Amino acid sequence: MWALVRRNFHLLRRYLGWELVFWFYNVINTLTIGLIGFTMPAGAERNRMVVYLAIGALLWNFLSILFQEVSNSVQWERWEGTIEYSFMAPIRRLTYLLGVCAWAVLYGMVRTLVVLIGVAFFFHVSLKGADLPGAALILAVSSVPFIGLGLIAAVLPLLSTERGAQATQVIQGVLLLVSGVYYPVSVLPHWIRWASVLSPATYTLTAVRRAVLSGAPIHDLIGVSVGLLASGVVLIPLGLGIFMMAERHAMRVGSLKRNG
């Protein structure tokens, strides 16, 4: 499993220039969103709004990295021309996917930390009274269900050799819309608000904001943590099963080879 982590690390080093561009964009995008909070009158409400928006941007940055790294792993391997070798290697498919997921979690944490440093340097907001350990706990457990969603989305590059990776952005866009990343889900129209209940990101964002903005202690966040873990226990086996079905289909129709 850790061999896959090392392999992905070397891939990152190979395309380091592109990675720096993506990291720079993430920092600038988060700062731009946080600046919207400065449209509020000066005082406690402005500070709260800036932190509210920054939390949304930071968490979405982390969760979307988990989602993209897992779901795009197939597309990267096909582009490198190694996917057939990886699938024929004498390792369990679960081991292969867990290696990809472990890399996604580590990479997401490092990249989010870089963005957080940029936000802390740019904005001078007070986090007095924030329960940062509680926020970190929620962030850690939220990676479990998002990995499951990533496994489900990873079947799209298997099914479509040309536009499968781009199709995963549809799933990501729906999650961004209904999860209350930059606004409370209560502002959503009634006909779509029900979808927010199904998104793990909704509970992650709500819990982290409670911990940071209201100082909710860890014991008040245990229920949300258990719920996120439970959803991950369902989504990961489901995603693995769907992925293996899609893999067998891709092998049958011969769509694993490099395209382009």
SS3 track for 58-81: HHHHHHHHHHHHHHCHHHHHHHHC
In a domain, 259, yes or no: no
Band of residue 106 on the pLDDT scale cut at 50, 70, 90: confident
pLDDT of residue 165: 67
In a domain, 62, yes or no: yes
In a domain, 258, yes or no: no
Q: What is the pLDDT of residues 140-178, one digit of tens each?
A: 898 889 888 888 887 887 777 666 667 778 888 899 999
Band of residue 256 on the pLDDT scale cut at 50, 70, 90: low
Can you give the residue range of the structural domain that contains 249?
2-253
In a domain, 156, yes or no: yes
Count the residues in the chain.
Answer: 260
**Residue whose C-alpha is closest to residue 105's, from 70, 136, 135, 55:** 70
Q: Look-up: residue for tokens 């990152």? A: 12
In a domain, 54, yes or no: yes
pLDDT of residue 203: 93
> Using CA atoms, how far apart are residues 195 and 207, in angstroms rounded to an integer?
18
> Using CA atoms, how far apart are residues 256 and 260, in angstroms rounded to an integer?
12
pLDDT of residue 178: 93
> What value does the mean pLDDT take over residues 69-90?
71
pLDDT of residue 97: 78
> ∠ CA(51), CA(52), CA(57), 5° rounding?
90
pTM of the model: 0.83
In a domain, 260, yes or no: no
Structure tokens at 13: 């080093």
pLDDT of residue 243: 84
pLDDT of residue 162: 65
Band of residue 182 on the pLDDT scale cut at 50, 70, 90: very high
Q: For the chain, how many structural domains are there in total?
A: 1
In a domain, 227, yes or no: yes
Q: What is the pLDDT of residues 111-146, one digit of tens each?
A: 888 888 888 788 877 677 788 888 888 888 988 898
In a domain, 232, yes or no: yes
> What value does the mean pLDDT take over residues 234-255?
84
pLDDT of residue 177: 93
Calculate the average pLDDT of the chain. Answer: 83
What dihedral do alpha carbons 94, 1, 116, 41 form, nearest 10°? 0
